[in-house]
Amino acid sequence: MSKILIRGAQVLGGEAQDVLIDGETIAEVGAGLSAEGVDTVIEAAGQVLLPGLVDLHTHLREPGREDSETVLTGTRAAASGGYTAVFAMANTFPVADTAGVVEQVWRLGKESGYCDVQPIGAVTVGLEGKQLSELGAMHESAARVTVFSDDGKCVDDAVIMRRALEYVKAFGGVVAQHAQEPRLTEGAQMNEGTVSAELGLGGWPAVAEESIIARDVLLAEHVGSRVHICHLSTAGSVEIVRWAKSRGIDVTAEVTPHHLLLTDELVRSYNPVYKVNPPLRTERDVMALREALADGTIDIVATDHAPHPHEDKDCEWAAAAMGMVGLETALSVVQQTMVETGMLDWAGVAERMSFAPARIGGLSHQHGRPVSAGEPANLTLVDTSYRGLVDPAHFASRSRNTPYEGRELPGRVTHTFLRGRATVVDGKLA
Amino acid sequence: MKRHLISAADLTRDDAVLILDTAEEMARVADRPIKKLPTLRGRTICNLFFEDSTRTRISFEAAEKRLSADVINFAAKGSSVSKGESLKDTAQTLEAMGVDAVVIRHHASGAPYRLANSGWIDAPVINAGDGTHQHPTQALLDAFTMRRRLVGRDAGLGKGLDGRRITIVGDVLHSRVARSNVDLLHTLGAEVTLVAPPTLVPVGVENWPCEVSYSLDEVLPKSDAVMMLRVQRERMNAAFFPTEREYSRRYGLDGARMARMPEHAIVMHPGPMVRGMEITAEVADSDRCTVVEQVANGVSIRMAVLYLLLGGSEPAVTTSTAARTEENK
Ligand SMILES: [Zn+2]
């Protein structure tokens, strides 16, 4: 077992401390720790040490779309971005709606070695919204599934949604809803508003998201269950979640990095890198999302990492696939939009990108743990003073559909540790 | 002028007036016994149609041939090109064949913009209609028709449509013609009013340079031109309006309504006209209706656009504007 000493890093952005990793765990945290018997010393003065990041919303594409991403390439991308655990969405081919498929994904995650992979199970068979999947069997499988989602699609049938919320109470599960009223978004290609009117692209109205969230928080209240809302994108959604929390409803919510930074004005380029679901909204929405993330109305940042091969994006807007990769740029976008604007400190970032997602997903025994002696050594070291242009050629993800190519973003993950093993060293995959 | 013609919004007033004036020159060619100019001899133009439109395609083809260009017609229909990749592949094939300009019609909004701006091809791109986005040559031919009728064939030279009141009626939401016309007519100084049921007015229209009214009867008496848009019957099934009859009653143009328009006012339609729901036969066949002229003017406008994008900015025909102004004195 190797011993690693991280020297002088600001733990959670606070005091500079030394952290000694011994094997899989943190052995000691303090000032001026001795380097005796240590195999590797990392001089980390000025860098910020965070608990390993946890992404509650990742598309790894395996099985079925290995040309976009595999569990191996996706977890390498995750490690590069500072993540030590990711939740893999269920919209694979076949859909992860049985114990067999979730166990396959879970096992591939184990073998990858870069990042823990926690499969998400589909709420309904084939994501068709008609019949509940074997939620219990997925929970009892080796993968121990606790998060269920038809993401990519909305569970729009109110009865099915009600039953799912009720059913998973038996084993402490949670339903993560992709809130999109399907009839209101038929033919939708971007945010409905000024820009869509001008560009002649089908509009995705904010109310299509808000109406489902409103319904679901009321359903969760009615059946006394908890619900998680994926990728909030509008100011109105924030208001509904805020109201639901004030009423005591057990709801949690996530926002993606791109919804914290980008607006629908970018779609004027007709460049499909900006085509995503839910769509990029307005400046007003972006500001409301930042505030909600800062004040805790939105609990976590989740990437919605959605890899697509080049040819699915190098075409006209209407034909292009929806989604963007995000694992490798998430922390930088959060630094720029939340930390550098003074809305969050690094402890706040750790809460929203590690502690809370681990809690919501039921992974808190392993991930999202405090940086202290005796805890699993899942850690991320960030050089926050770094400035550089995003170059997707260096991405570990198999797909390069990033909206940030050529954009300057701050911060760089220099080291990631998964249970004491370095998965990233000096910014490169180990 | 820009290198491509993608959107009517890209045209400055000077660009637009130059195109209209050049089209007047081109229109004279149609009056000659040999309807051909040598201007684009040796140049190859591809009409790349991903969406059926015989009318628009023939109009472009006539314009290209009158300018002596070599014409390639590429009609990509159906499922074989439903994958986005094919636009890029097709573009690169055309590039390799040394095409000098591409006229593109596409069911997807933004496809011509992508074609012009993604480095797939070098040649100028002319948008012949994309999704529900733009149809700039249609707007130009409409403006040309209005200028001729409302200002005068020769009196209009060098001029816009300042102070003219234009009303566009019908399915604005799905209409690239409406979008293009609002942009261009505003640039040319006209005052535009859109008339439609609220369900067929796009969210965000408040930022467009035009007025919006839900009442046709209120707007008709102060309109110099009324442009009726095609309303597709499918829209009824999607609950954009209750019944065909109710639509006709509130937004259709019949003889009685036409009588409420000022004496000089004209009725326009981008075609193809389906007589009944939005326009009655009585109106369509009246001499105030400019549909046939619009078709003829379409060729002149497309000649002008091709000439200006490919030929240069000099006057198109050797009988210069100056010489002709002499004639008209
Ligand atoms: Zn989603």
Query: Is the bond preceding A278 in cis, omega lying within 30 degrees of 0?
Result: yes
| Cβ–Cβ gap B204/A311 under 8 Å | no
Kindly report whether the global pTM for this prediction surpasses the value 0.80. yes
What is the pLDDT at residue B207? 93
Asked if A49 and A9 count as a contact pair (C-beta separation under 8 A), the reply is yes
- How far does the centroid of ligand 1 lie from the alpha carbon of residue A149, in Å? 9
Write out chain B residues lying below 8 Å of A312, CB-based: 84
The per-residue pLDDT for A134 is 96
How much is the mean pLDDT over chain B? 90
pLDDT in tens, A196-241: 999 999 999 999 999 999 999 999 999 999 999 999 999 999 999 9
Ligand 1 center from residue A304 Cα (angstroms): 7
Supply the pLDDT for residue B321. 44
| B105 tagged catalytic | yes
B84 chain-A contacts, CB cut-off 8 A: 311-312, 314-316, 318-320
Would you state the structure tokens that stand for residue A178, as one six-digit string? 């992709």
* Closest chain B C-alpha to A197 CA, distance in angstroms: 6
Q: Which residues of A touch B83 (CB under 8 A)?
A: 315, 319
Q: By percentage, how much of chain B surpasses pLDDT 70?
A: 92
In this prediction, residue B209 carries a pLDDT of 96
Q: Greater confidence, A176 or B277? A: A176
Tell me how far apart the alpha carbons of residues A308 and A305 are, in angstroms, rounded to a whole number. Answer: 10
The residue of chain B with its CA nearest to that of A195 is B204
Contact: A270, B208; criterion CB under 8 Å: no
Place of tokens 């009056």: B31
Q: Mean pLDDT of all residues in chain A?
A: 97
Sheet holding B70-75, edge to edge: B70-75, B44-49, B101-106, B125-130
| Predicted confidence (pLDDT) per residue in B143-176, tens digit | 999 999 999 999 999 999 999 999 999 999 999 9
Please give, rounded to a whole number of angstroms, the shortest distance from the CA of A39 to a CA of chain B: 51
Question: Is A18 a residue whose pLDDT tops 80?
Answer: yes
Instruction: Please provide residue A95's backbone torsions phi and psi, each rounded to the nearest 5 degrees.
Output: -65, 145
**Residue B296: its pLDDT value, please?**
94
Q: Which band of pLDDT confidence, cut at 50, 70 and 90, is reported for residue A132?
A: very high
Q: Torsion over CA of B52, B58, B61 and B62, rounded to 10 degrees?
A: -170
Q: Which of residues 131-150 of B touch A (CB under 8 A)?
A: 131-134
Task: State the Cα–Cα distance between residues B14 and B268, nearest whole angstrom.
Answer: 25
Residues B261-274 have a mean pLDDT of 91
Q: What is the pLDDT of residue B312?
A: 58
pLDDT at position A59 is 98
For ion ligand 1, residues whose CB falls within 5 Å: A 151, 178
Q: What is the pLDDT of residues B184-212, one digit of tens each?
A: 999 999 999 999 999 999 999 999 999 99
Per-residue pLDDT tens digits for A152-164: 999 999 999 999 9
Contact between chains at B113 and A270 (C-beta distance less than 8 A)? yes
Question: Which of A156, A304, A345, A426 does the annotation list as catalytic?
Answer: A304
Q: Tell if the CB–CB gap between A314 and B88 is shorter than 8 Å.
A: yes
Spell out a b/e string for B120-158, using b for 16 or more CB atoms within 10 Å of the CB, else e.
Answer: bbebbbbbbbbbbbbbbbbbbbbbbbbbbbbbeeeebbe
> Residue B35's pLDDT is what?
83
Distance between CA atoms of residues B321 and B329, nearest Å: 13
Q: CB-CB: which of B111, B132, B207 is closest to A316? A: B111
A-B contacts at Cβ under 8 angstroms: 87
Enter the ipTM. 0.84
Say if residues A304 and A51 touch (Cβ distance below 8 Å): no
Quick one: pLDDT band at residue A416, thresholds 50, 70, 90?
very high
Residues of A321-337 as b/e, b for ≥16 C-beta within 10 angstroms?
Answer: bbbbbbbbbbbbbbbbb
B87-127 pLDDT, tens digit each: 888 888 888 999 999 999 999 999 999 999 988 899 999 99
Instruction: Determine the pLDDT at residue B325.
Output: 40
Residue A34 exposed, middle or buried by CB count within 10 Å (0-12, 13-18, 19+): exposed
Under DSSP, is residue B144 helix (H, G, I), strand (E, B) or coil? helix
What is the structure's pLDDT at B24?
96
Type of residue at B256: A
Instruction: Name the token pair of A144.
Output: 């121990």
Q: Is the pLDDT of residue A71 over 70?
A: yes
Q: Is the pLDDT of residue B316 over 80?
A: no
Q: Is B83 a catalytic residue?
A: yes
Residue of A nearest to B130 (CA): A200
Q: What is the mean pLDDT of residues A367-385?
A: 98
Record the tokens describing residue B144, joined without a space: 């040309």
Give me the residues paired with residue A53 across strands. Answer: A83
What whole-number distance in Å separates Cα of residue B64 and Cα of residue A423? 62
> Within an 8 Å CB–CB cutoff, is residue A392 touching chain B?
no
Within an 8 Å CB–CB cutoff, is residue B288 touching chain A? no
A9 neighbors A48 (Cβ within 8 angstroms): yes
Selecting among B13, B32, B36, B55, the annotated active-site residue is B55
Please state, for a pLDDT cut of 90, what percent of chain B lies above it.
74
B3: closest CA of chain A, how far (Å): 17
Percent pLDDT > 90 in chain A is 98
Name residue, tokens 């209101």: A184
Instruction: Tell whether the torsion through CA atoms of A253, A258, A260 and A265 is positive or negative.
Output: negative
B205 min Cα distance to partner chain A (Å) = 7
Cβ <8 Å between B176 and A200: yes
| B254 token code pair | 């019949």
A40 within 8 A of A4, measured Cβ to Cβ: yes
* Per-residue model confidence (pLDDT) at position A1: 64
DSSP state for residue B276 in the 8-state scheme: T
pLDDT at B322 over 70: no
Catalytic (active site) residue B230: no
